[in-house]
């Protein structure tokens, strides 16, 4: 990373003010040993190595109502306009002027009779997180993470990524006037995501090896150089990502669905979903919890293995799947995720790459469109309906995590029938035509 000073440093509201640094209403608590730490200090793990949870001041949160959130829906600007900060009392109660936001969230919830009937359901609702500012749900966590980075006075942020985290971090760092450092596994991320990281100005380092190798490297670099780490080990990203569940429930007029289904890679998203829903329940804002189903790709399914065997997670070396966003063999947040699945009487399922690309063709063809990992959701729903785990008349919400345009190479490859080892069941290949001598259209 270059040592040039940031040409456009963003004024930190509380520079060097150590006494003020702990003046927040939440604390951090270790998920392994329960030791508590101040809410704002430069730390991602407990001294024991365990990951940290943000614990809120519940007495303060009791003041919020669903009516308050509904009243904020019409806002034209400011934090209320964001689908994360609209719920700020439950996300992170920070000073509004410190927030780094792109009005993330506010994603649409689609009914799709076509996808429902393919999946074997009477109806389906698809929440399209690919409609976030950088095209994935990662923006919800990133707005919280970068806001905390600013609050801590950090000027540089870093992450290891399968692509969407780096795209999101690069954007939010640029907006906040921070330097961004990105580690990505060479040749293993989708082109749209690499393009975003470069375009938003992140220092982009391609490393040999997989995501798990990039993760190890970035933790070391951050510790050595005082850079703020924004991987999903960062507990504040989880707080922002909780807002997927808040917004979904608000979309549903606070009526709890039977199932929420989403893909699982590093498992931050499913952990966040559960944490947020459990907090809504504890505050009396919803009457019960939906069941959570996490879908993994067969080539990267350590959570599935752990869940089916009721055992500790064993990392899967050489994780492999066309759904690059979930190509992760050693998920950081598996314990938190599994806790949520068990607590909601949820399930873990796994699907093959063939099932993923075929589900994707259906989601795309329905006019909605999403990136491969997102479509593991729909492939998983179909499999769970087929197995009788989800009943056709149940109310099912699937999360589409990323945008169709993230991975154009896979889409074109599928429709041209050029994906190695995969059958293009629903191919829609481009055809050639030209104008003949007689002025007639000639098909080739
Ligand atoms: C990050 C990501 C996932 C996986 O989410 P985890 O929190 O790592 O489980 C799935 N789909 C897309 C599009 C992603 O960007
Ligand atoms: Zn601990």
The string of pLDDT tens digits covering residues 237-287 is 999 999 999 999 999 999 999 999 999 999 999 999 999 999 999 999 999
Residue closest via CA to ligand 1's atom 3 equals 325
| C-alpha of residue 244 to centroid of ligand 1, in Å | 13
Distance from C-alpha of 153 to C-alpha of 70, rounded to nearest angstrom: 33
Domain ranges of the chain: 109-135+237-415
DSSP structural state of residue 96: G
Ligand nearest to the Cα of 268, by number = 1
Residue whose CB lies within 8 A of the most ligand 1 atoms, among 163, 240, 245, 263, for a mutation test: 263
Return the pLDDT at 326: 94
Contact (CB, 8 A) for 267 and 335: no
Return the pLDDT at 110: 98
The 10s digit of each residue's pLDDT in 187-227 is: 777 889 999 999 999 999 998 887 778 888 998 999 899 89
Cβ atoms < 10 Å from Cβ of 339: 16
Cβ atoms < 10 Å from Cβ of 114: 14
| C-alpha of residue 53 to centroid of ligand 2, in Å | 11
Ligand nearest to the Cα of 37, by number = 2
What number does the ligand 1 atom closest to the CA of 401 have? Answer: 13
What number does the ligand 1 atom closest to the CA of 323 have? Answer: 11
pLDDT of 16 strictly over 80? no
CA-to-CA separations, 356 to 171, 246, 253, 382, in angstroms, rounded: 29, 27, 31, 11
Ligand nearest to the Cα of 32, by number = 2
Distance from C-alpha of 167 to C-alpha of 263, rounded to nearest angstrom: 19
Residue whose CB lies within 8 A of the most ligand 1 atoms, among 51, 161, 164, 260, for a mutation test: 164
Distance from C-alpha of 190 to C-alpha of 323, rounded to nearest angstrom: 9
Compute the CA torsion angle 245, 27, 24, 138 (nearest 10 deg). -40
Distance from C-alpha of 150 to C-alpha of 230, rounded to nearest angstrom: 12
Distance from C-alpha of 18 to C-alpha of 35, rounded to nearest angstrom: 22
| C-alpha of residue 45 to centroid of ligand 2, in Å | 8
Return the pLDDT at 279: 96
Residue closest via CA to ligand 1's atom 13 equals 402
Q: Give residue 161's pLDDT band: very low, low, confident or very high (50, 70, 90).
A: confident
**Residue 26: partners with Cβ closer than 8 Å, 6 or more residues away:** 39, 54, 55, 56, 57, 92, 93
pLDDT of 4 strictly over 90? no
Query: For 79-83, 208-212, 292-296, 420-424, which range has the lowest pLDDT when averaged over its residues?
Result: 208-212
Q: Name the 3-class secondary structure at 383.
A: helix
| C-alpha of residue 62 to centroid of ligand 1, in Å | 31
Say how far residue 136 (Cα) sits from the centre of its chain.
Answer: 7
Contact (CB, 8 A) for 371 and 403: yes
| C-alpha of residue 386 to centroid of ligand 2, in Å | 42
| C-alpha of residue 25 to centroid of ligand 1, in Å | 29
Residue whose CB lies within 8 A of the most ligand 1 atoms, among 138, 194, 326, for a mutation test: 326
**HSE value, Cβ hemisphere, 13 Å, CA-based, for 52:** 26
Return the pLDDT at 22: 53
Ligand nearest to the Cα of 50, by number = 2
Cβ atoms < 10 Å from Cβ of 24: 18
Residue closest via CA to ligand 1's atom 15 equals 164
pLDDT of 307 strictly over 60? yes
The 10s digit of each residue's pLDDT in 318-355 is: 899 999 999 999 998 899 999 999 999 999 999 999 99
pLDDT of 70 strictly over 50? yes
**Residue 11: partners with Cβ closer than 8 Å, 6 or more residues away:** none
The 10s digit of each residue's pLDDT in 36-60 is: 999 998 898 999 999 899 999 999 8
For 109-135+237-415, CATH gives: 3.40.50.1100
Which residues are in the CB-under-5-Å shell of ion ligand 2? 30, 32-33, 35, 46, 48, 50
Residue closest via CA to ligand 1's atom 1 equals 325
| C-alpha of residue 235 to centroid of ligand 2, in Å | 14
| DSSP secondary structure string for all residues of 26-55 | -EEEETTT--EEESSSS-SB-TTS-BEEEE
pLDDT of 430 strictly over 90? yes
Contact (CB, 8 A) for 266 and 305: no
Q: Give me the residue label for tokens 């991320």.
A: 189
| C-alpha of residue 21 to centroid of ligand 1, in Å | 31
Residue closest via CA to ligand 1's atom 2 equals 325
**Residue 289: partners with Cβ closer than 8 Å, 6 or more residues away:** 256, 277, 278, 281, 343, 344
Strand-pair partners of 228? 157
Contact (CB, 8 A) for 66 and 73: no
Instruction: Please compute the mean of the pLDDT values over residues 69-80 and round it to a whole number.
Output: 95
Q: Give residue 162's pLDDT band: very low, low, confident or very high (50, 70, 90).
A: confident
The 10s digit of each residue's pLDDT in 235-248 is: 999 999 999 999 99
Ligand nearest to the Cα of 129, by number = 1
CA-to-CA separations, 186 to 161, 320, 421, in angstroms, rounded: 11, 14, 22
Sign of CA dihedral 339, 340, 343, 345: negative
- How does the average pLDDT of the chain come out, rounded? 92
Cβ atoms < 10 Å from Cβ of 315: 12
Instruction: Please compute the mean of the pLDDT values over residues 140-160 and round it to a whole number.
Output: 96
Return the pLDDT at 187: 77
Ligand 1 site residues (CB inside 6 A) read 136, 138, 164, 232, 263-269, 325-326, 371, 373-374, 401-402
Q: Give residue 395's pLDDT band: very low, low, confident or very high (50, 70, 90).
A: very high
């Amino acid at each position: 990373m270059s040592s040039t000073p940031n040409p456009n440093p963003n004024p930190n509201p509380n520079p060097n003010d150590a006494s003020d640094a702990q003046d927040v209403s939440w604390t951090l608590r270790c998920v392994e040993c329960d030791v508590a730490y101040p809410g704002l200090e430069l730390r991602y793990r407990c001294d024991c190595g365990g990951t940290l949870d943000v614990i809120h001041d519940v007495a303060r949160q009791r003041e919020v109502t669903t009516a308050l959130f509904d009243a904020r829906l019409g806002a034209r600007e400011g934090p209320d306009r964001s689908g994360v900060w609209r719920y700020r009392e439950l996300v992170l109660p920070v000073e509004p002027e410190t927030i780094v936001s792109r009005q993330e969230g506010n994603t649409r919830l689609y009914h799709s009779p076509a996808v429902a009937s393919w999946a074997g359901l009477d109806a389906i609702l698809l929440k399209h997180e690919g409609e976030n500012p950088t095209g994935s749900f990662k923006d919800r966590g990133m707005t919280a993470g970068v806001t905390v980075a600013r609050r801590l006075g950090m000027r540089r942020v870093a992450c290891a990524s399968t692509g969407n985290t780096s795209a999101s971090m690069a954007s939010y760092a640029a907006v906040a006037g921070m330097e961004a450092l990105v580690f990505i596994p060479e040749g293993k991320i989708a082109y749209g995501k690499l393009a975003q990281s470069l375009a938003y100005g992140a220092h982009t380092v391609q490393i040999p090896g997989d995501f798990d190798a990039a993760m190890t490297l970035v933790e070391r670099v951050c510790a050595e150089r005082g850079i703020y780490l924004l991987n999903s080990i960062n507990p504040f990203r989880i707080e922002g990502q909780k807002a997927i569940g808040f917004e979904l429930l608000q979309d549903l007029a606070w009526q709890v669905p039977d199932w929420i289904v989403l893909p699982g890679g590093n498992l931050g998203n499913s952990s966040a979903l559960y944490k947020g829903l459990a907090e809504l329940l504890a505050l009396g804002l919803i009457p019960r919890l939906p069941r959570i189903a996490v879908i993994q790709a067969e080539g990267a399914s350590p959570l599935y293995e752990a869940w089916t065997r009721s055992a500790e997670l064993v990392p899967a070396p050489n994780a492999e799947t066309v759904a690059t966003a979930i190509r992760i063999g050693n998920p950081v947040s598996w314990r938190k995720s599994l806790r949520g699945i068990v607590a909601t009487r949820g399930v873990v399922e796994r699907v093959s790459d063939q099932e993923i690309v075929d589900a994707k063709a259906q989601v795309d063809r329905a006019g909605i469109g999403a990136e491969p990992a997102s479509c593991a959701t729909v492939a998983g729903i179909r499999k769970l309906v087929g197995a009788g785990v989800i009943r056709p008349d149940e109310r099912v919400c699937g999360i589409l995590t990323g945008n169709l345009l993230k991975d154009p190479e896979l889409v074109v490859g599928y429709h041209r029938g050029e994906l190695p080892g995969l059958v293009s069941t629903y191919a829609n290949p481009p055809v050639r035509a030209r104008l003949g001598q007689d002025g007639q259209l000639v098909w080739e």
